[in-house]
Chain A
Amino acid sequence: MANDLIQISVCSGTGCLDAGSLLVRTAFEDHVRSQGLEKTVAVNFGGCAGTCPQGPVVTVEPGGVLYHGVQPGDAAAIVGEHLKGGVLDRLRYEPPEEPSKIPSTGALPLYRHQVLRVLRNKGLIDPESMEEYIARDGYQGAAKALTQMTAEEVVATVKNSGLRGRGGAGFPTGLKWEFASKSVADQKYLLCNGDEGDPGAFMDRSVMEADPHSVVEGMIIGSRAIGATKGVIYVRAEYPLAVKRLQKAIDDATAAGLLGKNILGSGHDFELSIYLGAGAFVCGEETALMRSIEGKRGMPRPRPPFPAHKGLWDKPTVLNNVETYANVPPILLHGADWYRSLGTQKSAGTKVFALTGAIKNVGLVEVPMGIPLRTIIYEVGGGIGKKNKKFKAVQMGGPSGGCIPEHLLDTAVDFDSINATGAIMGSGGMVVMDEDNCMVSLAKFFLGFTADESCGKCPPCRVGTRVMLDLLTDITEGRGKPGDIETLIDICDDIKNTSLCGLGQTAPNPVLTTIRYFRDEYESHIHDKWCKTGICRDLASFEIDPEICTGCGVCARACPQEAIVGEKKKPHRIIQELCIQCRTCYDKCKFNSIQIKASRKLTGVAAAAEGGKH
Chain B
Amino acid sequence: MSKLTAEDLVRLRDKARAAMDFEKQGYRGKVVMHTGTCGIAAGAEKVMAVLTAELKERNVTDLVVTTSGCAGICSREPLMTVQLKGQSPVKYTELTEAKVKSIVEEHLVGGQPVEKLAFVMGCEAAY
Taking the complex as a whole, does A directly touch B, i.e. does some CB pair lie under 8 Å apart? Answer: yes
Segment at the B interface, from A111-119, A176-184, A313-321, A441-449: A111-119
Q: Does A291 contact B (CB under 8 A)?
A: no
Q: Does A126 contact B (CB under 8 A)?
A: yes
Q: Mark each residue of chain A from 115 to 149: 1 if its CB lies under 8 Å from any CB of chain B, else 0.
A: 11101111111110001101101111001001100
Segment at the B interface, from A71-79, A154-162, A252-260: A252-260
Contact residues in A for B37 (Cβ distance below 8 Å):
202, 205, 209, 239, 241
Q: Known interface pairs A117-B126, A256-B1. Does A210 touch B69 (Cβ–Cβ under 8 Å)?
A: yes
Q: Kindly provide the distance from the CB of B77 to the nearest chain A CB, expressed in whole angstroms.
A: 9
How many Å lie between the Cα of A15 and that of B127 in the bound state?
Answer: 12
Selected A-B contacts with CB under 8 Å, 21 pairs: A17-B126, A45-B127, A48-B125, A50-B88, A102-B119, A102-B121, A104-B121, A105-B123, A108-B120, A111-B124, A111-B125, A114-B125, A120-B126, A122-B124, A127-B68, A205-B37, A210-B68, A241-B36, A256-B3, A257-B2, A361-B75
Residue pair A264, B1 in contact (C-beta under 8 Å) = no
Q: Kindly provide the distance from the CB of B93 to the nearest chain A CB, expressed in whole angstroms.
A: 11
The winner among A18, A110, A124, A360 for most chain B CB atoms within 10 A is A124
How many Å lie between the Cα of A124 and that of B70 in the bound state?
Answer: 10
Contact residues in A for B75 (Cβ distance below 8 Å):
360-363
Contact residues in A for B16 (Cβ distance below 8 Å):
131-132, 134-135
Q: Known interface pairs A45-B125, A47-B125, A258-B4. Does A119 touch B86 (Cβ–Cβ under 8 Å)?
A: no
Q: Kindly provide the distance from the CB of B82 to the nearest chain A CB, expressed in whole angstroms.
A: 11
Q: Does A3 contact B (CB under 8 A)?
A: no
Residue pair A126, B124 in contact (C-beta under 8 Å) = no
Contact residues in B for A146 (Cβ distance below 8 Å):
6
Q: Does A365 contact B (CB under 8 A)?
A: yes
Contact residues in B for A125 (Cβ distance below 8 Å):
20, 68-69
Residue pair B2, A100 in contact (C-beta under 8 Å) = no
Residue pair A209, B36 in contact (C-beta under 8 Å) = yes
Q: Does A103 contact B (CB under 8 A)?
A: yes
Contact residues in B for A138 (Cβ distance below 8 Å):
13
Q: Kindly provide the distance from the CB of B19 to the nearest chain A CB, expressed in whole angstroms.
A: 7
Residue pair A361, B69 in contact (C-beta under 8 Å) = no
Q: Kindly provide the distance from the CB of A611 to the nearest chain B CB, expressed in whole angstroms.
A: 40
Residue pair B124, A48 in contact (C-beta under 8 Å) = yes
A contact residues vs B (CB 8 Å cutoff)? 11-18, 22, 45, 47-53, 100-106, 108, 110-111, 114-117, 119-127, 131-132, 134-135, 137-140, 143, 146-147, 202, 205-206, 209-211, 239, 241, 255-258, 262, 264-265, 360-365
When C-beta atoms are compared, the residue in chain B nearest to A208 turns out to be B69
When C-beta atoms are compared, the residue in chain A nearest to B69 turns out to be A210
Q: Does B59 contact A (CB under 8 A)?
A: no
Contact residues in A for B69 (Cβ distance below 8 Å):
121-123, 125, 127, 206, 209-211
When C-beta atoms are compared, the residue in chain A nearest to B23 turns out to be A53
Q: Does B122 contact A (CB under 8 A)?
A: yes
- When A and B form their complex, what is the total count of cross-chain residue pairs whose Cβ atoms lie within 8 Å? 191
Contact residues in B for A205 (Cβ distance below 8 Å):
36-37
Residue pair B125, A100 in contact (C-beta under 8 Å) = no
Q: Mark each residue of chain B from 1 to 38: 1 if its CB lies under 8 Å from any CB of chain A, else 0.
A: 11111100110110011011000000000001010111
Residue pair A362, B88 in contact (C-beta under 8 Å) = no
Interface of B is mostly: mixed
- The residue from B1, B85, B90 contacting A102, defined by CB atoms under 8 A apart: B90
Given A18-B17, A102-B115, 8 other A-B residues pairs in contact with their CB atoms under 8 A: A15-B89, A15-B123, A49-B122, A50-B88, A53-B86, A264-B5, A264-B9, A361-B73
When C-beta atoms are compared, the residue in chain A nearest to B3 turns out to be A257
Residue pair B122, A105 in contact (C-beta under 8 Å) = yes
Residue pair B20, A135 in contact (C-beta under 8 Å) = yes
> Which 7 residue pairs of A and B lie closest in terms of their CB atoms, listed nearest first?
A210-B69, A257-B3, A13-B123, A135-B16, A362-B75, A48-B122, A116-B126
How many Å lie between the Cα of A125 and that of B66 in the bound state?
Answer: 9
Interface of A is mostly: loop
How many Å lie between the Cα of A499 and that of B74 in the bound state?
Answer: 37
Contact residues in B for A255 (Cβ distance below 8 Å):
1
Contact residues in A for B86 (Cβ distance below 8 Å):
53
Q: Does B113 contact A (CB under 8 A)?
A: yes
Contact residues in B for A104 (Cβ distance below 8 Å):
88, 120-122
Q: Does B50 contact A (CB under 8 A)?
A: no
Residue pair B115, A101 in contact (C-beta under 8 Å) = yes
Q: Mark each residue of chain B from 84 to 127: 1 if its CB lies under 8 Å from any CB of chain A, else 0.
A: 01111110000000000000000000000101001111111111
Residue pair A134, B9 in contact (C-beta under 8 Å) = yes
Q: Kindly provide the distance from the CB of A307 to the nearest chain B CB, expressed in whole angstroms.
A: 30
Residue pair A53, B127 in contact (C-beta under 8 Å) = no
Residue pair B70, A206 in contact (C-beta under 8 Å) = yes
When C-beta atoms are compared, the residue in chain B nearest to A47 turns out to be B125
How many Å lie between the Cα of A10 and that of B77 in the bound state?
Answer: 31
How many Å lie between the Cα of A115 and that of B34 in the bound state?
Answer: 20
Residue pair A50, B68 in contact (C-beta under 8 Å) = no
Residue pair A52, B12 in contact (C-beta under 8 Å) = no
How many Å lie between the Cα of A206 and that of B72 in the bound state?
Answer: 9
Contact residues in B for A18 (Cβ distance below 8 Å):
17
Contact residues in A for B125 (Cβ distance below 8 Å):
12-14, 45, 47-48, 105, 111, 114-116
The residues in B between 38 and 85 inclusive whose CB is less than 8 angstroms from any CB of A are: 38, 40, 66-76, 81, 83, 85
The winner among B5, B19, B69 for most chain A CB atoms within 10 A is B69
Contact residues in B for A265 (Cβ distance below 8 Å):
3, 5-6
Q: Kindly provide the distance from the CB of B56 to the nearest chain A CB, expressed in whole angstroms.
A: 21
Contact residues in A for B76 (Cβ distance below 8 Å):
361, 363
How many Å lie between the Cα of A15 and that of B6 in the bound state?
Answer: 26
Residue pair B70, A364 in contact (C-beta under 8 Å) = yes
Q: Kindly provide the distance from the CB of A511 to the nearest chain B CB, expressed in whole angstroms.
A: 29
How many Å lie between the Cα of A50 and that of B68 in the bound state?
Answer: 21
Contact residues in A for B123 (Cβ distance below 8 Å):
11, 13-16, 48, 52, 105
Contact residues in A for B120 (Cβ distance below 8 Å):
102-105, 108, 110-111
Contact residues in A for B12 (Cβ distance below 8 Å):
131, 134
Residue pair A115, B126 in contact (C-beta under 8 Å) = yes
When C-beta atoms are compared, the residue in chain A nearest to B126 turns out to be A116
Residue pair A209, B5 in contact (C-beta under 8 Å) = no
Residue pair B6, A363 in contact (C-beta under 8 Å) = no
Residue pair A256, B127 in contact (C-beta under 8 Å) = no
How many Å lie between the Cα of A289 and that of B100 in the bound state?
Answer: 45
Contact residues in B for A108 (Cβ distance below 8 Å):
120
Contact residues in A for B2 (Cβ distance below 8 Å):
257
Q: Known interface pairs A126-B68, A210-B70. Does A116 touch B124 (Cβ–Cβ under 8 Å)?
A: yes
The winner among B32, B85, B89, B122 for most chain A CB atoms within 10 A is B122
How many Å lie between the Cα of A116 and that of B119 in the bound state?
Answer: 19
How many Å lie between the Cα of A127 and that of B118 in the bound state?
Answer: 25
How many Å lie between the Cα of A241 and that of B38 in the bound state?
Answer: 11
Contact residues in A for B90 (Cβ distance below 8 Å):
102
How many Å lie between the Cα of A139 and that of B86 in the bound state?
Answer: 30
